[in-house]
């Protein structure tokens, strides 16, 4: 089994419907908080069920939902297919369907941990091609090495208590412990990154990147990164900086 087959099989990773709804509501609110403006074009890559995607679409000009799972896309179409401002695509359709440099924000939340290294490298190339000048790539819910399962469970239980599914979450944690998900993490691989490696990876992919706070979703121990097209080397006096697009953008903002 691959990770894509796992997600295609509608895995029971949520404790109940209330958990799933609260999760996607939170993710949508967090994406909205990161929108550059109401006229922006957004890609949510590896969006999953995206139950509250309408909230994101209401706050931007065009939202594209992309997921590798055919079953997920079918559910998205049933849910949002009538909205002309929400597009639904498979990953392999993105290259032809979206114009280059057309996206103001690309979000990949809780996705890169499931991508083999070569797929992540290809995704970075695709995202860079589609990102507009000044557009932003937000990679979030990145799992650092050695993250404690106890800390993960504690973060989930806190979120559950605040959203009325505490008991279901307790049962869900026990089920997850004995589930395929845990076994697949060890058999298929589950990518973890520390902050420095993630910045280096993005830099090698042609992005200027930095850690971004807060992470999307309920788990603040996981990490988010904001990245832009790296600008060509800028020379200030004798000092050459390739802090890239962020430095460039800060200067433009001051001049503007």
Ligand X SMILES: C[S@@+](CC[C@H](N)C(=O)[O-])C[C@H]1O[C@@H](n2cnc3c(N)ncnc32)[C@H](O)[C@@H]1O
Which residues contact ligand X by CB under 6 A? 3-4, 7, 27, 45-48, 66-69, 72, 91, 109-111, 114-115, 119
Length of the chain: 256
Q: How far is the CB of 79 from ligand X (least distance, A)?
A: 14
CB of 69 vs ligand X, minimal distance in Å: 4
Using the minimum distance from each CB to ligand X, give the nearer residue, 46 or 244: 46
Indicate the residue among 110 and 176 with the shorter CB distance to ligand X.
110
Q: Nearest distance from residue 196's CB to ligand X, in Å?
A: 24
Q: Which is nearer to ligand X, 107 or 208 (CB)?
A: 107
**Minimum gap (Å) between residue 83 Cβ and ligand X:** 19
Shortest approach of ligand X to residue 247 CB, angstroms? 30
Q: Which residue is nearest to ligand X (CB)?
A: 48
> Whole-number minimum distance, CB 228 to ligand X, in Å?
21
Of 13 and 170, the one with the shorter C-beta distance to ligand X is 13
Element (H, E) at 21: helix 17-33
Nearer to ligand X, 19 or 245 (CB): 19
Nearer to ligand X, 114 or 207 (CB): 114
The 3-state secondary structure of the chain, one letter per residue = CCHHHHHHCCCCCCCCHHHHHHHHHHHHHHHHHCCCCCCCEEEEECCCCCCCHHHHHHHCCEEEEECCCHHHHHHHHHHHCCCCCEEEECHHHHHHHCCCCCEEEEEEECCHHHCCHHHHHHHHHHHHHHEEEEEEEEEEEECCCCCCHHHHHHHHHHHHHHHCCHHHHHHHHHHHHCCHHHHHHHHHCCCCCCHHHHHHHHHHCCEEEEEECCCCCCCCCCEEEEEEECCCCEEECCEEECCCHHHHHHHHHHHC
Q: How far is the CB of 239 from ligand X (least distance, A)?
A: 40
Say whether 106 sits in a helix, a strand or coil: strand
Residue closer to ligand X (CB basis): 182 or 251: 182
Strands 62-66 and 131-142: unpaired
């Amino acid at each position: 089994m691959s990770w894509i087959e796992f997600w295609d099989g509608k895995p029971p990773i949520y404790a109940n419907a209330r958990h799933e709804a609260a999760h996607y509501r939170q993710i949508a609110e967090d994406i909205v908080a990161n929108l550059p403006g109401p006229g922006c074009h957004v890609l949510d890559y590896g969006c999953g069920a995206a139950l509250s995607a309408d909230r994101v679409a209401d706050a931007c000009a065009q939202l594209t939902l992309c997921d590798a799972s055919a079953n997920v896309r079918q559910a998205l179409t049933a849910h949002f297919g009538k909205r002309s401002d929400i597009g639904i695509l498979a990953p392999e359709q993105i290259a032809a369907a979206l114009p280059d440099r057309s996206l103001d924000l690309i979000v990949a939340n809780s996705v890169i941990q499931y991508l083999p290294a070569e797929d992540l490298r290809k995704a970075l190339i695709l995202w860079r091609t589609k990102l507009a000048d000044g557009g932003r790539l937000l990679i979030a819910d990145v799992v650092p090495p050695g993250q404690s399962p106890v800390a993960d469970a504690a973060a989930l239980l806190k979120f559950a208590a605040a959203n009325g599914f505490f008991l279901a979450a307790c049962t869900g944690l026990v089920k997850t412990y004995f589930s395929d998900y845990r076994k697949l993490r060890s058999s298929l691989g589950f990518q973890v990154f520390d902050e420095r490696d993630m910045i280096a990876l993005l830099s090698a992919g042609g992005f200027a990147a930095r850690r971004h706070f807060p992470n999307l979703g309920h788990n603040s121990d996981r990490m988010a990164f904001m990245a832009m097209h790296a600008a060509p080397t800028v020379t200030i006096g004798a000092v050459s900086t390739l802090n890239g697009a962020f430095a460039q953008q800060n200067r433009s903002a001051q001049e503007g």
